[in-house]
Structure 1
């Protein structure tokens, strides 16, 4: 039995009323920021279907699986709804426009910049930083850490092709090398450290040098070290020499210094 057009329209109105009665999901950034809000909505089943993001939006959830993919798709759906439907206050910005203009004018070909261009860049940078932070935080949580590190950002960059322009700043090898270093550090146990005044342990097959006792140092005087007498100061070559008195004033004759130096008899004074 076919339904009349009036019955079909009535069913459509009932479905619309039921949808309106259902509470709309609230994207509350006060609940842990964008990551917490997206995670809460995805846990309630409001995550969009990941297969819908194709073409320009194909990189939205690239490299992510499971819950992490649902969190990123929920965030990007919120961004799309916000940009298309919400009213924007162009006087409030997350990033300083003066700094953005300075970066834009780094190109000598850029002479004039309109007022809308820095606003667009400010919003784009806000979205870029938020998404990259969420991707890095997912990697940090997978490694049971609560601190975002440089290696987390490197791992987040390596999972998507749209971040290839940052390959010179954060090389992709850093993510793998950080994982290798952490595994090697956990596998190798630290050896015994040498205390103060002790020599480090010698490698296998090499005997450490033994400390010499007082008798060993005494035996060195016959062969390795010269005798003590050789280091004694020799007597003066001219024992008759007498040092001058430093307290004597300049210009006064110092006759005592030269008396008895020459064995000549005293000559009589000339007439």
Structure 2
């Protein structure tokens, strides 16, 4: 090494060699003995080999643009699909609200019918009790009138009283009995009418319960459809976000070329 170093020193020292070395020669000597060559001092051909050609850059750029166009079209389609799903979701929400309102109205009508049926049942019970009381009083009065009439007639025959008075007395009892019978008949008609109304209300309540059941089923189906619409929309939104991220990455890559 000493002769080589000395030779290098002689070559680098113009006083000893008598010649001045240029920077390129000095660099070449250093690279020979150290094995290191700075990139900036490499030959142009060697540097060019490490860089992509213009054709390669253009091909890569065109490939990125094709991917960007494809993703953009896919995004447009997915956004259009999202708009359709949003419209369907809004329709389903409106239908669910309508079914809920209908069910609420039907249940309110059911409550009213039930309250009316209870009121009529109370009225019917009171009317039946009143009719029974009138019948009982009438039966007692008829028994009394019968006994009084028979006894009066017998006494009139025995005492030879005026039979006209007895007839008028019996006629009065008969009138009162007929009046009470008419009252009973009127009560009976009212009772039958109340019974008819109560039966009609019961039938109406049965129909309302059936309708409420159907509406509840329809509302359940609408709620299930709404949940499915929301799931579809959520998946679609996730795909759109992924596509947006992919598109942004491709645009950054294209901008760096």
TM-score when scaled to structure 1?
A: 0.20
TM-score (norm 2): 0.21
Question: Which of the two has higher C-alpha Rg?
Answer: 2
Task: Give the number of the structure with larger relative contact order, counting CA–CA contacts within 8 Å between residues 6 or more apart.
Answer: 2
Structure with greater helix percent: 2
